[in-house]
Amino acid sequence: MSIVSANASAMDGIYRHQRHIYDLTRRYYLLGRNDLIAALQPPPGGTVLEIGCGTARNLTLTARRYPDAQLFGLDISAEMLKSAEAMVSKTGMGDRIRLAQGDATSFKADEIFGVPGFDRVFLSYSLSMIPGWQAALEQALHAVAPGGELHVVDFGQQSALPKWFGKALKTWLARFHVTPRQNLEAAMAALAGTHQAHLTFSPVYRDYARIGMIRLS
């Protein structure tokens, strides 16, 4: 079994049942997702790609907020894509949201979606679940069109919260194969430097989460 197939099988195993309650439970601790969506601000008629789109919760909210945008979602889990397809169908956005299965570390957007580059690409609490998260981050930036932006939100290190809280959170997240990326800012800074791009990065909610953006010139 290839690494890609193994990762897909692992994600399917995790989400085969969880996908049915995912949005209901995650709304209480995946903080910053709505902040990211508000910051996207794609140009009129722009294209937006979410890598690790899960149930399509973020995509449908983005579609409502930016009615002129065309949305695309990529996920490695066939099980999660079942929920995503149901969500897109339920909201009647099948003409604006396209979904596909793919590996965040090695996908080719042009081959999958017929789009060489997107005005906005974002990852919402997905890097903490991807073993090759740095490769996924680099691949995401490659999918951004000139002048476009890459947006990321994920778990922080809870540095401004009680130590017991951060320790308990990380222990609990590990049960779901989630690992907050301590070096996320450094990785994004290195990518921005390589591409001579502009980086903004900040902790939010007392460093419960961290939000970063790379803008290409």
What is the mean pLDDT of the segment spanning 16-36? 62
More confident residue, 57 or 18: 57
**DSSP assignment string, the chain:** --HHHHHHHHHHHHHHHHTTTHHHHHTTT-TTHHHHHHHH-PPTT-EEEEES-TTSHHHHHHHHH-TT-EEEEEES-HHHHHHHHHHHHHTT-TTTEEEEE--TTT--HHHHHS-S-EEEEEEES-GGG-TTHHHHHHHHHHTEEEEEEEEEEEE---TTS-HHHHHHHHHHHHTTT----TTHHHHHHHHHHHTT-EEEEEEETTTTEEEEEEE--
Output the pLDDT for position 176.
86
Fill in the amino acid letter for 125: Y
User: How much is the pTM?
Assistant: 0.89
What pLDDT digit, counting tens, does each position of 118-132 carry? 999 999 999 999 999
What pLDDT digit, counting tens, does each position of 154-182 carry? 999 999 999 999 999 999 999 988 999 99
Report the alpha-carbon distance of residue 114 to residue 142 in Å, rounded: 15
More confident residue, 8 or 64: 64
Res 3 pLDDT > 90: no
Res 24 pLDDT > 60: no
Output the pLDDT for position 155.
96
Percent of the chain with pLDDT over 70: 87
For 143, the token pair is 């999918």
Res 29 pLDDT > 80: no
Task: Give the CATH number of domain 3-215.
Answer: 3.40.50.150
What pLDDT digit, counting tens, does each position of 61-112 carry? 999 999 999 999 999 999 999 999 999 999 999 999 999 999 999 999 999 9
* Tokens 């042009």 found at: 110
Least confident segment among 27-31, 62-66, 190-194: 27-31
**What is the average pLDDT value for the chain, to the nearest integer?**
89
Least confident segment among 14-18, 43-47, 62-66, 171-175: 14-18
